[in-house]
């Protein structure tokens, strides 16, 4: 879409004057008229949903910061008593913010899986994909630091465990963790700096989102067929076709969000976090938030500390490398039956890792069966061994299966244009808006 | 690059100017880099423990409060510390395992003060990722970490699980038979 020509015509004297000085109206108009493939399905609405989520987190977060006390002695009370009980609608704003993080990650995972399924990371969209990965890592850092702020037991021990990851590095490990903590353990100075960064990072995310959208607008959207846009008839203007479609998706998303906030606001909260942080007692079973569980399982699956930390980092690293691991020219997995199966198995094992991360390492997988003889610290029927198998597949999918398959797979014939499958599917596709818009405009 | 800089200047004499321009260019750049580095260090070092945190050096603890076969977890420099009053059984068990295969081999004698073998005093942070292990949690009669399943014996040596090291020792001295100074 790089050849997208501006169609904006300033109509009044003021807009003509402004257009030659700061063409901001033109910029907005060009975004709205951006030619977008006409066959985008609902999996493509998560970009809009994610922008909405970022907005919700920033607005509710700024409000919460007005009532929050970022000190080791005051933080817990300012949240549990101040915000949750005394501040007008504090419970609602915190409910939106805390559950908003879960909704944000739900959306980002579906957005990433969409990109993987339709091959949206392939040339010429590698930079777009990399920026998305950067946003994802920034989101995890922000969410982690936000989780520390209520200063409950899970907050404290989550912070202790994650910051201790940096202690795995030889020689620099010790000084590095002291630098992160500002002391000899997680304490008030740690909380203060996490609050500062938690406030900063969302704006960094917003800046990278701007780059992400820019990188999207150079090649234009991919689409479910993965076939390049070939003519103007393959596209529709972004507004109103996709603004309205995105808005509808956001409304459905908001219904789910509201159900959680109003009916099960504690669904994602660990009970232990309603106990104030105590540096002398670790809760019996500490687990991170659900969206970090697969990585936590990978960390625990590996019996060596440094290797475990590298495994955790590598699990993210392979996402960054995906555009160069998958060299097959066919983008969409609609036309890659074998890749599709391996991809769904990968999703399955990622979910298995998530489950493993929520369980105790010595727990049994198949109830009723013995754990079995100990091999590398645990029996075969233990959660740890299931994590090890799932971790192996997680990495094999990226480092072995994808590179080999992308060279050897016999792909199905790809349609000549993204329009062809739409026409052949007829009524089965949700193309009401796409029926004949160009004849009306 | 010096050439292009020289060309940029109006009326620059190409035969002489490049050398001088080059020097000024490099010198300015070097000062700039040194300046950035000099400013960066305070911005990084401020993250390190502040003077008031460092000042929490040593504390004294009355051991008569810890009954035989029990332990306390207290804070020293904001770090949790175990003070365990070991039973003869625990000491015997720790010594019996002195030469068993271990990740971080150490004899029990090296982990306590001579004459005070009943007192095991260690940092209570699991050497894996810093959780506080719980006593009687593992098959070696010692501690088990609730976070990632590391198991320590009655000498707080790592016997199983992801932790790389035994629970750390730190400086302490017995002032008399019932009083210990940590730090």
A182 interface with B at CB cutoff 8 Å? yes
A378's tokens: 């645990």
How far, in Å, CA of A377 to CA of A193, rounded?
Answer: 38
Considering the domain architecture, whether residues A94 and A211 belong to the same structural domain is answered as yes
How far, in Å, CA of A357 to CA of A301, rounded?
Answer: 9
Q: Is residue A415 part of a domain?
A: no
Cβ A282–B146 below 8 Å, yes or no?
A: yes
Considering the domain architecture, whether residues A314 and A244 belong to the same structural domain is answered as no
How far, in Å, CA of A176 to CA of B8, rounded?
Answer: 46
Among the candidates A259, A280, A301, a domain finishes at A280
Whether the predicted pLDDT of A425 surpasses 70: no
Cβ A161–B124 below 8 Å, yes or no?
A: no
Give the rounded percent of residues in chain B with a pLDDT score beyond 70: 90
Per-residue pLDDT of A81-93, as tens digits, reads 999 999 999 999 9
Under the banding of pLDDT at 50, 70 and 90, the label for residue B14 is low
Average model confidence (pLDDT) across chain B = 86
Q: What is the pLDDT of residue A3?
A: 57
Which of B48, B75, B162 is facing A280, going by the closest CB pair? Answer: B75
> Dihedral of CA A307/A311/A314/A316: which sign?
negative
Q: Is residue A211 part of a domain?
A: yes
Considering the domain architecture, whether residues A259 and A349 belong to the same structural domain is answered as no
Of A40-49, A89-98, B88-97, the least confident: B88-97
Q: Is residue A344 part of a domain?
A: yes
Give B79→chain A minimum CA distance, Å: 6
Q: What is the pLDDT of residue A1?
A: 44
Q: How many CB pairs under 8 A join A and B?
A: 99
Cβ contacts of A162 on chain B, cutoff 8 Å: 129
Among the candidates A280, A307, A330, a domain finishes at A280
Considering the domain architecture, whether residues A298 and A377 belong to the same structural domain is answered as yes
A26 interface with B at CB cutoff 8 Å? no
Q: What is the pLDDT of residue A424?
A: 73
Structural domain range at position A86: 35-280
Among the candidates A235, A252, A280, a domain finishes at A280
Q: What is the pLDDT of residue A377?
A: 77
Residue A236: beta bridge partners?
Answer: A36
Indicate the SS3 state at residue B109: helix
Considering the domain architecture, whether residues A297 and A275 belong to the same structural domain is answered as no
Under the banding of pLDDT at 50, 70 and 90, the label for residue A441 is very low
Cβ A362–B149 below 8 Å, yes or no?
A: yes
CB A112 within 8 A of CB A322: no
Cβ B146–A283 below 8 Å, yes or no?
A: yes
Q: Which residue in this structure is represented by tokens 């804070």?
A: B75
A76's tokens: 């817990």
Q: Which residue in this structure is represented by tokens 């304490």?
A: A187
Whether the predicted pLDDT of A19 surpasses 50: yes
B149 interface with A at CB cutoff 8 Å? yes
Considering the domain architecture, whether residues A275 and A330 belong to the same structural domain is answered as no
Q: What is the pLDDT of residue A430?
A: 47
H or E element in which residue B71 lies: strand B71-76
In degrees, rounded to 5, the angle at the alpha carbon of residue A231 between the alpha carbons of residues A5 and A417 is: 145
Query: In a mutagenesis test of the B interface, which of A163, A176, A180, A361 is the best target, namely the one with the most B β-carbons within 10 Å?
Result: A361
Indicate the SS3 state at residue B80: strand
Other C-beta atoms within 10 Å of A47: how many? 20
How far, in Å, CA of B117 to CA of B112, rounded?
Answer: 6
Q: What is the pLDDT of residue A117?
A: 98
Cβ contacts of B163 on chain A, cutoff 8 Å: 305
Phi, psi of B175 (to 5 degrees): -80, -40
How far, in Å, CA of A414 to CA of A230, rounded?
Answer: 14
Cβ contacts of B132 on chain A, cutoff 8 Å: 280-282
ipTM for the assembly: 0.76
Domain of A229: which CATH number? 1.20.810.10
Domain of A316: which CATH number? 1.10.287.980
Residues 6+ apart with CB under 8 A from A117: A43, A332, A333, A340, A343
Under the banding of pLDDT at 50, 70 and 90, the label for residue A433 is very low
Question: Which one has a higher pLDDT value, A364 or A259?
Answer: A259
How far, in Å, CA of B107 to CA of B153, rounded?
Answer: 12
Considering the domain architecture, whether residues A241 and A297 belong to the same structural domain is answered as no
Cβ B161–A303 below 8 Å, yes or no?
A: yes
Query: In a mutagenesis test of the B interface, which of A183, A196, A308, A357 is the best target, namely the one with the most B β-carbons within 10 Å?
Result: A183
Cβ contacts of A300 on chain B, cutoff 8 Å: 148-149, 162
Residue of chain A with shortest Cα separation from B81: A280
Considering the domain architecture, whether residues A291 and A201 belong to the same structural domain is answered as no
B134 interface with A at CB cutoff 8 Å? yes
Cβ contacts of A360 on chain B, cutoff 8 Å: 149
Considering the domain architecture, whether residues A91 and A236 belong to the same structural domain is answered as yes
Q: Taking residues A268-284, what's their average pLDDT?
A: 91
Other C-beta atoms within 10 Å of A126: how many? 16
A146's tokens: 């936000």
Cβ A187–B160 below 8 Å, yes or no?
A: no
Whether the predicted pLDDT of A438 surpasses 60: no
Q: CB-hemisphere CA count at 13 Å for A268?
A: 22
Residue B85: beta bridge partners?
Answer: B119
Which of B53, B124, B130 is facing A164, going by the closest CB pair? Answer: B130
Per-residue pLDDT of A32-68, as tens digits, reads 999 999 999 999 999 999 999 999 999 999 999 999 9
Under the banding of pLDDT at 50, 70 and 90, the label for residue A374 is confident
Number of domains making up chain A? 2
Q: Is residue A97 part of a domain?
A: yes
Other C-beta atoms within 10 Å of A149: how many? 21
A392's tokens: 């192996």
Average model confidence (pLDDT) across chain A = 92
Under the banding of pLDDT at 50, 70 and 90, the label for residue B13 is low
> Dihedral of CA A234/A238/A244/A246: which sign?
positive
Task: Give chain A as a 3 state SS string.
Answer: CCCCCCCCCCCCHHHHHHHCCCCHHHHHHHHHCCEEECCCCHHHHHHHHHHHHHHHHHHHHHHHHCCCCCCCCCHHHHHHHHHHHHCCCHHHHHHHHHHHHHHHHHHHHHHHHHHHHCCCCCCCCHHHHHHHHHHHHHHHHHHHHHHHCCCEHHHHHHHHHHHHHHHHCCCCHHHHHHHHHCCCCCCHHHHHHHHHHHHHHHHHHHHHHHHHHHHHHCCCCCCCCCCCCCCHHHEEEHHHHHHHHHHHHHHHHHHHHHHHHHHCCCCCCCHHHHCECCCCCCCCCCCCCHHHHHHHHHHHHCCCHHHHHHHHHHHHHHHHHHHHHCCCCCCCHHHCHHHHHHHHHHHHHHHHHHHHHHCCCCCECCCCCCCCCCECCECCCEHHHHHHHHHHHHHHHHHHHHHHHHHHCCCCCCCCCCCHHHHHHHHHCCCHHHCCHHHHC
Q: CB-hemisphere CA count at 13 Å for A420?
A: 11
Q: Is residue A84 part of a domain?
A: yes
Cβ contacts of A285 on chain B, cutoff 8 Å: 146
Give B80→chain A minimum CA distance, Å: 5
CB B122 within 8 A of CB B81: yes
Whether the predicted pLDDT of B161 surpasses 90: no
Q: What is the pLDDT of residue B137?
A: 73
Residues of B annotated as catalytic (active site), given as ranges: 148
Q: Taking residues A160-185, what's their average pLDDT?
A: 90
Per-residue pLDDT of A331-361, as tens digits, reads 999 999 999 999 999 999 999 999 999 998 8
Whether the predicted pLDDT of A275 surpasses 90: yes
Residues 6+ apart with CB under 8 A from A298: A308, A311, A312, A315, A353, A387, A391, A394
How far, in Å, CA of B171 to CA of B151, rounded?
Answer: 24
Residue of chain A with shortest Cα separation from B43: A179
Under the banding of pLDDT at 50, 70 and 90, the label for residue A189 is very high
Query: In a mutagenesis test of the B interface, which of A192, A194, A279, A311 is the best target, namely the one with the most B β-carbons within 10 Å?
Result: A279
Cβ B149–A361 below 8 Å, yes or no?
A: yes
DSSP B50: P
Per-residue pLDDT of A114-154, as tens digits, reads 999 999 999 999 999 999 999 999 999 999 999 999 999 99
Cβ contacts of A308 on chain B, cutoff 8 Å: 162
Under the banding of pLDDT at 50, 70 and 90, the label for residue B121 is very high
> String of b and e for B82-105 (b: at least 16 CB within 10 Å)?
bbbbbeeebbebbeebeeeeebee
Considering the domain architecture, whether residues A264 and A134 belong to the same structural domain is answered as yes
Per-residue pLDDT of B30-46, as tens digits, reads 999 999 999 999 999 99
Which of B124, B160, B163 is facing A305, going by the closest CB pair? Answer: B163
Other C-beta atoms within 10 Å of A120: how many? 23
Residues 351-410 of A with CB under 8 A from B: 360-362, 377, 384
Under the banding of pLDDT at 50, 70 and 90, the label for residue B16 is low
Q: What is the pLDDT of residue B17?
A: 62
Question: Which one has a higher pLDDT value, A201 or A360?
Answer: A201
Q: Is residue A108 part of a domain?
A: yes
H or E element in which residue B2 lies: helix B2-8
Considering the domain architecture, whether residues A235 and A324 belong to the same structural domain is answered as no
Give B49→chain A minimum CA distance, Å: 4
Q: Is residue A142 part of a domain?
A: yes
Integer angstrom CA distances of residue A274 from A190, A278, A281: 20, 12, 14
CB A229 within 8 A of CB A37: yes
Cβ contacts of A185 on chain B, cutoff 8 Å: 77-80, 125, 130
Q: What is the pLDDT of residue A225?
A: 94
Per-residue pLDDT of A5-14, as tens digits, reads 888 999 999 9
Query: In a mutagenesis test of the B interface, which of A193, A272, A305 is the best target, namely the one with the most B β-carbons within 10 Å?
Result: A305
pTM here? Answer: 0.88
Q: Is residue A436 part of a domain?
A: no
Considering the domain architecture, whether residues A51 and A158 belong to the same structural domain is answered as yes
């Amino acid at each position: 879409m790089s050849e997208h020509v501006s169609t904006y015509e300033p109509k009044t004297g003021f807009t003509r004057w402004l257009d030659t000085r700061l063409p901001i109206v033109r910029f907005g108009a060009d975004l709205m008229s951006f030619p977008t493939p006409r066959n985008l399905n609902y999996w493509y609405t998560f970009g809009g949903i994610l922008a909405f989520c970022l907005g919700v987190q920033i607005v509710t977060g700024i409000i919460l910061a007005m009532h929050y006390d970022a000190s080791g002695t005051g933080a817990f009370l300012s949240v549990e008593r101040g915000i949750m009980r005394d501040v007008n609608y504090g419970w609602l704003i915190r409910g939106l913010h805390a559950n908003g993080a879960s909704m944000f990650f739900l959306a980002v995972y579906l957005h990433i899986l969409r990109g993987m399924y339709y091959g949206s990371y392939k040339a010429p969209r590698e930079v777009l994909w990399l920026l998305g990965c950067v946003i994802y890592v920034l989101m995890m850092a922000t969410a982690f630091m936000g989780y520390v702020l209520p200063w409950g037991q899970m907050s404290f021990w989550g912070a202790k465990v994650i910051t201790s990851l940096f202690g795995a590095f030889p020689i620099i490990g010790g000084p590095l963790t002291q630098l992160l903590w500002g002391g000899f353990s997680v304490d008030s100075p740690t909380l203060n700096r996490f609050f500062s960064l938690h406030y900063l990072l969302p704006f960094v995310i917003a800046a990278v989102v701007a780059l992400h959208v820019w990188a999207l607008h150079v090649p234009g959207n991919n689409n479910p067929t993965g076939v390049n846009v070939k003519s103007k008839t393959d596209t529709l203007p972004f507004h109103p076709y996709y603004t309205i479609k995105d808005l509808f998706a956001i409304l459905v998303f908001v219904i789910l969000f509201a159900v959680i906030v109003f009916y099960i606001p504690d669904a994602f909260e660990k009970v232990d976090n309603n106990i104030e942080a105590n540096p002398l007692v670790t809760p019996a079973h500490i687990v991170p938030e659900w969206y970090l569980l697969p990585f936590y399982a990978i960390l625990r699956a590996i019996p060596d500390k440094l290797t475990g930390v590298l495994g955790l980092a590598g699990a993210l690293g392979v996402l960054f490398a995906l555009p160069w691991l998958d060299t097959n020219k066919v983008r969409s997995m609609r036309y890659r039956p074998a890749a599709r199966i391996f991809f769904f198995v990968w999703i399955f094992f990622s979910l298995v890792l998530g489950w493993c991360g929520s369980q105790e390492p010595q727990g049994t997988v198949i109830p009723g069966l013995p754990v079995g003889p100990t091999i590398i610290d645990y029996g075969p029927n233990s959660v740890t061994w299931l994590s090890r198998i799932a971790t192996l597949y997680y990495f094999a999918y990226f480092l072995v299966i994808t590179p080999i398959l992308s060279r050897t797979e016999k792909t199905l014939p790809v349609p000549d244009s993204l329009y062809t499958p739409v026409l052949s599917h007829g009524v089965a596709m949700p193309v009401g808006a796409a029926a004949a818009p160009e004849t009306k405009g | 690059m010096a050439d292009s800089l020289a060309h940029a200047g109006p009326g620059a004499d190409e035969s002489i100017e490049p050398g001088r321009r080059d020097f000024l260019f490099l010198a300015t750049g070097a000062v700039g880099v040194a300046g950035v580095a000099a400013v960066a260090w305070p911005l990084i070092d401020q993250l390190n423990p502040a003077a008031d945190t460092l000042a929490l050096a040593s504390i004294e603890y009355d051991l008569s409060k810890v009954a035989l076969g029990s332990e306390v977890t207290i804070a020293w420099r904001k770090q949790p510390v175990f003070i365990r009053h070991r039973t003869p059984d625990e000491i015997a068990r720790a010594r019996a395992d002195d030469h068993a295969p271990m990740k971080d081999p150490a004899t029990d004698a090296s982990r306590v003060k001579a004459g005070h073998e009943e007192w095991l005093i260690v940092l209570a942070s699991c050497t894996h990722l810093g959780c506080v292990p719980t006593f009687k949690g593992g098959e070696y009669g010692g501690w088990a970490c609730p976070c990632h399943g590391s198991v320590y014996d009655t000498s707080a040596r790592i016997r199983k699980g992801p932790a790389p090291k035994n629970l750390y020792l730190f400086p302490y001295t017995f002032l008399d038979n019932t009083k210990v100074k940590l730090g």
